[in-house]
Amino acid sequence: MYLWYRRIYNAARDDSSLGMWAFFLFFTVNLGWCIWCAIAIPFSSERWSFTGFGSAMAAFKISGFNGTIYIIGAACWVLLSLWSFWCLKDAYVFYKSGGFKAAKQSQTQDMALRVFQQSMANKV
């Protein structure tokens, strides 16, 4: 909440480049964590702590049911990784397009055009 949502909300509200970069930094860490959990290579005594594909292969050796549960968990981590990547890409496109500043300029130009059209219609 504080590292992702509030960062992007405040950055968009204040049109802050530094806030957007802080969001990108923290959300990239989140994306890396999701990918790490999806892979979950069992390398220590805590080999059952992540539900990734590495742990799933080890769980299949013990029980097919356990392996299936771990595969479902790994699939959820993969979906979360893909969704996080899409959100990061979408936020980057928003940032590069000028964000709210471009929307405000477009809205101001549309308002000026409407006022001009109305004033011209009144003169005719």
**For each successive 10 residues of the chain (124 residues), what is the average pLDDT?**
76 80 90 89 66 84 89 93 92 78 67 76 69
- pLDDT (0 to 100) of residue 48: 64
Handedness of CA 108, 114, 117, 122 (dihedral sign): negative
Supply the pTM of this predicted model.
0.69
Q: Is 105 in contact with 97 (CB distance < 8 Å)? A: no
Q: Is 30 in contact with 88 (CB distance < 8 Å)? A: no
CA–CA distance, 35 with 13 (Å, rounded to integer): 30
On the 0-12 / 13-18 / 19+ scale of CB atoms within 10 A, 42 is: middle
CA–CA distance, 53 with 60 (Å, rounded to integer): 10
Query: Domain segments of the chain: what residues?
Result: 5-99
- pLDDT (0 to 100) of residue 80: 94
In a 13 Å sphere around the CA of 19, the CA atoms on its Cβ side amount to: 15
- pLDDT (0 to 100) of residue 75: 94
- pLDDT (0 to 100) of residue 109: 72
